[in-house]
Amino acid sequence: MSETTTVSTDIATSPAAADVEPAIIAELRRVLGARRPPGAHPGRRRAGEPDVRAFRLDLLADALTPETLTAAVMWLESERRASPATRRAYADDLLSWADWYAQERGGRLDLAALTRADVTLWLAHSRAAGHRPATIARRIAALSSLYRYAASQGLPLVCPITEDHRPRVQKDQQDDRSAASQALDPAELRRLTSAAADVRDALVIALITTTGLRVSELCAADDSDVTAKDGRMWLHVQRKGGRGARVNLDPAVMSLLDRYRAERPAPDGEGAPLIRDGAGRRVDRHDIIRLLRRVARAAGIGKRVTPHVLRASAVTRLVDDGKDVIDVQRWAGHADVSTTMIYVGAQKVDARNAALTADLATLVQLPSWLQPSEQGA
């Protein structure tokens, strides 16, 4: 297992800290957590290479001018109804902008200095790098949100992003169905679970498969989020947009969790994350992706197995078993039933629609002169 090193700088020494309460800095630093620095390619770490991480807030302190850092800290803290995963995503998007700015323009990202030409150049660079329109749109939306917040606080900043910079993102349902088709079948899911090398691998696979957790929800879970009520065990998570949800845990999964808790490393840092890496730190999505790839290879599964593939496999199995789509939507935490319907194949949609039409046809009573004649029958 590779060594995990956390690099930390003291943001309290930054000029920005003079305008921000220390308690806010400490809380936000904890919520944002740590990650590998920009450009470290978290999915490409060589075997034995130290897993160097830094706190996101410290990375922002190094990448932004003091004035921009102050605005960013208050902006991230102002998202009180957003989930920790959303705040981390905002911070990562801002770090992506700052990393590009440092390479192309030199120096730290300054909201007051960023121009329309800079945004246009960034857009061309992002397209040339093969970034998806959805990724580009998300990063533009994050930066626009920061500018809007700064303006609401009376800062004399003009957002350089125009509508011409925003890519048109069209949700192609056929493409979504193609992605859903990568879901594992029941036999592959059983092979995947049985190929787990240790109890943590088995627990992660079982948790996602039986609860449909998003990887962000799994990584953000703490020990304190596991509770018992009415004879059942529950995991409390925050869904997209900061919505709270209670996820039922199967007794077999709880047994795995109890075994894992008995042998996992002690927490290294603040809080008590539910799933930890070898050094006791909270895992991130890259850790989970590497875990699944390793187990999939051991199971001889040729498909690309990711946390979303496991989640899609769970939803697909429920739909294929004829479970009510609205129940599945609520179970998966989909905001709209149309997202759940992606996992219903085109032929199944036709069959369901035909059955609904036939049921309603029983309400049609034709007048006698239009009814089929029984003569000659």
Tell me the pLDDT of the chain (377 aa) as tens digits: 344 444 444 444 444 444 667 877 888 888 888 887 766 554 555 555 566 778 899 999 999 999 999 999 999 988 655 677 788 889 999 999 999 999 998 899 999 999 999 999 999 999 999 888 888 999 999 999 999 999 988 888 999 998 888 877 655 444 444 445 578 888 999 999 899 989 999 999 999 999 999 998 999 899 999 998 777 898 988 877 667 888 899 999 999 999 999 999 998 876 799 999 888 888 888 899 999 999 999 999 988 899 999 998 998 888 888 888 888 888 888 878 877 877 776 556 677 777 878 888 887 877 877 777 655 54
Cα(309)–Cα(295) distance, rounded to whole angstroms? 14
| Residue that is written with structure tokens 């949100």 in the block | 145
Query: 0.85 exceeded by the pTM?
Result: no
Diameter of the chain measured on Cα atoms: 97
Cβ neighbours around 323 below 10 Å, total: 13
Domains annotated on the chain, with CATH: 4-170 (no CATH), 177-356 (1.10.443.10)
The angle formed by the CA atoms of residues 207, 211 and 212, to the nearest 5 degrees, is 100
Cα(370)–Cα(350) distance, rounded to whole angstroms? 29
**Contact at 8 Å (CB) between 57 and 6?**
no
